[in-house]
Amino acid sequence: MSSIACDVSVLIPFSNGNPEEEQELLRCPLVKVQKVEYSNIHDTERLLDYVERVKKVVKEKNINNVLALCDISTFVHSAVARDFHSVPGPSVEASFLAFHKAYTRKYMDPAASTTPYAVVDLDSPTMLTDARQALRKAVVEPFIDAENFYTVDGCVIEGKIVHWAITDSLRYDDQDARFVTMICPTTLTHEQQKPIWDFYDDVMTRMIRFGFNNSFAHIEVFQMKDKQLKLIEMNARASRHHHALYSRCFENGRMDHVSLSAGHGIRHAPPVSTGKHGIMYLVKFQELERAGNLMDFGQIDKLRTDPDVHFILTAGPDEEVTDFFGSTGAHFCIVLAFGNTRTAVIRKLANVLRLTVKKPEKLTYPIS
């Protein structure tokens, strides 16, 4: 990895700010980060109005980088990159294709012809009729033949695809959604990884044709019983959760640091393993209630001193957690655990859950 002296002023959309994250960005070793600006949408603000407001901030504060860390922020990033040539980033078209899952399958999946789907406009007055017709001609595939699930991360810098990491998952055959967690590094050999990276390259080559550049993208892939790979989802951005995992398991593994340096002439290579193993686990509950009834926040505070445990919380102990936006599922806590072996990190995670989960019988994916 090469470095180059340049000044970066970054804006993070859809965020109210995070002092710890800001300090980490300011310590980026690849570029000199002058300032970090945060911006969030107002409750009644339309997305288009928010984008225009962000553009004013970019102009007034001389922003030359946008760090997209959630799906919808990719639209802000691409809209700014389109109108401000000093800001590197993907095209609006590429961001749309990643965000719109039906079009992801149609245009990005090398095996798209084998996966039937249908699109229904939920705002249409004929929505119910359209849905019935769609069900008659489309088959909802439950992926019951999927043997493995992999998350594959990489980036495109100055038109070049750079591989980052493949992570494994745990499998629960008694659940409809059978795969959960990200475990790193993968146990796959280099020979076993090759078809997955070839698949990723095929997907990203298609994205590049639609204008994707200077950004991370991760895909989720099922490996079927016949070893065929199927694209499940694509996200055209870095991830706070992923780089929390990668920053411990890989040297120079932070995705946000690489994103800050994108478009500034810095050449990147795949990160090198530190020898550390890690697991990211979404603490999912079958039913939700007040967060403090489900998890012991006192124990969580005590465990924050453990360098091999990290919590990402989206609710406090007194908050009722019954409504969720998006497809993240019924959870308000993510636990990351680290150790010197895969067995050790799973054991570490199990111990953390025993200490912090008040109602283990409600866990969707118990760890023992």
Sign of CA dihedral 364, 178, 350, 242: negative
Pick 273 or 368 by higher pLDDT.
273
List phi, psi (to 5°) of 254.
-70, 125
Task: Supply the pLDDT for residue 323.
Answer: 53
Same fold, 7-112+141-273 and 277-362: no
Estimate to the nearest angstrom the gap between the alpha carbon of 146 and the chain centroid. Answer: 21
Average pLDDT over residues 2-29: 86
Measured at the CA of 153, the angle between CA 21 and CA 219, to 5 degrees, comes to 115
Task: Supply the pLDDT for residue 272.
Answer: 92
Task: Supply the pLDDT for residue 79.
Answer: 95
Task: Supply the pLDDT for residue 328.
Answer: 40
pLDDT digits (tens, 9 = 90+) for 137-146: 564 444 557 8
Enter the pTM of the model: 0.86
pLDDT digits (tens, 9 = 90+) for 52-82: 999 999 999 999 999 999 889 999 999 999 9
CATH fold for the domain made of 277-362: Glycinamide Ribonucleotide Synthetase; Chain A, domain 4 (3.90.600)
The percentage of residues in the chain with a pLDDT greater than 90, rounded to a whole number, is 57
- The neighbour count for residue 66, using CB atoms within 10 Å, is 27
Task: Supply the pLDDT for residue 225.
Answer: 87
Q: Would you state the structure tokens that stand for residue 77, as one six-digit string? A: 């990033």
Residue ranges covered by each domain of the chain:
7-112+141-273, 277-362
DSSP, res 363: B
Residue 191 pLDDT greater than 70, yes or no = yes
* Whole-angstrom distance, CA of residue 311 vs CA of residue 298: 13
Residue 253 pLDDT greater than 50, yes or no = yes
Pick 2 or 169 by higher pLDDT.
169
What dotted CATH number matches 7-112+141-273? 3.30.470.20
* Whole-angstrom distance, CA of residue 186 vs CA of residue 168: 5
* Whole-angstrom distance, CA of residue 330 vs CA of residue 350: 19
Q: Where are the beta strands (DSSP E) in the chain?
A: 7-12, 32-38, 65-66, 146-157, 160-171, 179-184, 215-224, 229-235, 250-251, 272-273, 277-284, 309-313, 331-339
